[in-house]
Amino acid sequence: MSATATLPPARRLPQIPWYVTLGMGWIVLVLAVALLADLITPFVYTAMDLQYRLVPPFQTWAHPLGTDELGRDVLSRLIVSIRVSLLIAFGATLISAILGTTLGFLAAHFRGIVEQAVLMLADFQAALPFLILALSVLAFFGNSLPLLIGLMGLYGWERYARIARGLAISASAQGYATAITQLGATPQRVYLRHILPNIASTLIVSMTLIFPEVILLESGLSFLGLGVQPPMTSLGNMVGYGREYITRAAWIMLCPATVIVLTTLAVSLVGDWLRDRLDPTLG
């Protein structure tokens, strides 16, 4: 039952490595930027200023990170991009966690054919690189933001499903789920009130491990011009368009690229650390 490690109340402050502290700091900063985007963007992100095109960073106070080929403020675009990318990643991670956990519970509860079907779908999902699957769906259905989020929401569901199924089966085998069923509780009550809270820490750790992968996936798709569509902007989207100006104005591309790298790095450092603390059994 190490999988659902119960944390002792925080009597002593845990020793947090410096890089995890930095990672947490970066995450907080990025979240603040995403939430306050409307307040802190110096310019409207689509506003063009054709007099100031391709201004390098740190040249003028008006455009601290410079401007792009249309004279749009890179900082403002970066802030809006962070919001869009995080919104997609959060939405997708949540959808995937809910979908996967539900399917995992269904598999654990019904066993038999349902379980085989879920496991087969999970195998299928794991057998194809997700990028290919995502590209095919985008090709067939065209592109829209809800579709994109929903599509990203399919990413990684099989991992939650496997975890939820395994833990739910072991919860039944260990007794507390059986004991509560035996009290007359409905399966919904057993799964939602007892099993889910018991495995929540493991699921949350998985979310922190999958979240950066979703950011990378979205930015990859947007970079290829197949994700977020202009005039909306996202981190990958900015890198994709900035690439045209790599020889003359590398900053357009470097700013969002740095944010992508730092954010995935921060979330995975914090996620790894959480996993080691809460749940060493996760791969």
Partner 1 sequence: MIRYILTRFLRAFITIVLVVTFAFVVLRLSGDPATIILGPEAPPEAIAAFRKSWGLDQPVLVQYIQYFAAIFQGDLGMSMRDGRPALELVMERIPATLALTLPALMLKLAMGVPAGVYAALHQGTAFDRAVMVAAVMGFAVPSFVLALGLVLVFAVNLGWLPSGGRDTIWHAILPIVTLGLGGAAALARFTRSAMLEVLGQHYIRTASSKGLAWAVVVRSHALPNAAIPTVTLIGFLVGSLIAGAIVVESVFSWPGVGRLMVVAVANRDLAVVQCILLLVATTMVTSNLIVDFLYGALDPRLRHGARANA
Partner 2 sequence: MTPLLQLRDVARSYVTRNNLFGQARPVRAVDGISLTVNAGETLGIVGESGSGKSTLGRMALGLELPDEGTVTFDDAPMPAPGSAAWRTLRRQMQMVFQDPLGALDRRLPVLEQIIEPLVIHGIDGDQRSAGLAALASVGLSAAQGARHPHELSGGQRQRVVIARALITSPRLLVCDEPVSALDVSIQAQVVNLLIDLQAERGLGMVFISHDLRVVRQISNRVAVMYLGRVVEEAAADDLFRAPQHPYTRALVSAAPSPGPRRVERVILTGEPPNPAARPEGCAFHPRCPVATARCRTEAPAPARIAPGHTAACHLLTPAAKVAAR
DSSP 181-249: HHTT--HHHIIIIIIHHHHHHHHHHHHHHHHHHHHHHHHHHHHTTSSSPTTS--HHHHHHHHGGGTTT-
Of residues 110 and 124, the one with the C-beta less far from partner 2 = 110
Contact residue for partner 2 among 65, 97, 148, 180 (CB under 8 A) = 180
Q: Which residue has the tokens 């919104």?
A: 87
Which span (27-35, 44-52, 64-72, 132-140) binds partner 1, by CB under 8 A?
132-140
Q: Does 271 bind partner 1 (CB under 8 A)?
A: no
Q: Does 146 bind partner 1 (CB under 8 A)?
A: no
Q: How much of the chain is helix, strand and coil, in % rounded to 5? A: 70, 0, 30
Q: Which does 268 bind (CB under 5 to 8 A by kind): partner 2, partner 1, none?
A: partner 1
Q: Build a one-symbol-per-residue string for 207-246: x at contacts with partner 1 by CB under 8 A, - elsewhere.
A: -----x---x--xx--xxxx---------x--xx--x--x
Q: Which does 176 bind (CB under 5 to 8 A by kind): partner 1, partner 2, none?
A: partner 2
For residue 183, give both structure tokens. Answer: 């009290």
Of residues 138 and 161, the one with the C-beta less far from partner 1 = 138
Q: Does 198 bind partner 2 (CB under 8 A)?
A: yes
Contact residue for partner 2 among 36, 126, 147, 179 (CB under 8 A) = 179
**What is the rounded distance in angstroms from the CA atom of residue 179 to the CA atom of residue 52?**
70
Determine contact, residues 237/228, Cβ cutoff 8 Å: yes
Taking the complex as a whole, how short is the minimal distance between the CB of residue 171 and partner 2, in angstroms? 9
- The half-sphere exposure of 131 on its side-chain side, counting CA atoms within 13 A, is 12
Which positions ≥6 away from 196 have C-beta within 8 Å?
A: 101
Q: Which residues pair with 63 in a beta bridge?
A: 60
Of residues 109 and 162, the one with the C-beta less far from partner 2 = 109
Point out which residues bind partner 2 (CB under 8 A). Answer: 1, 4, 6, 174-176, 178-187, 189, 194, 197-198
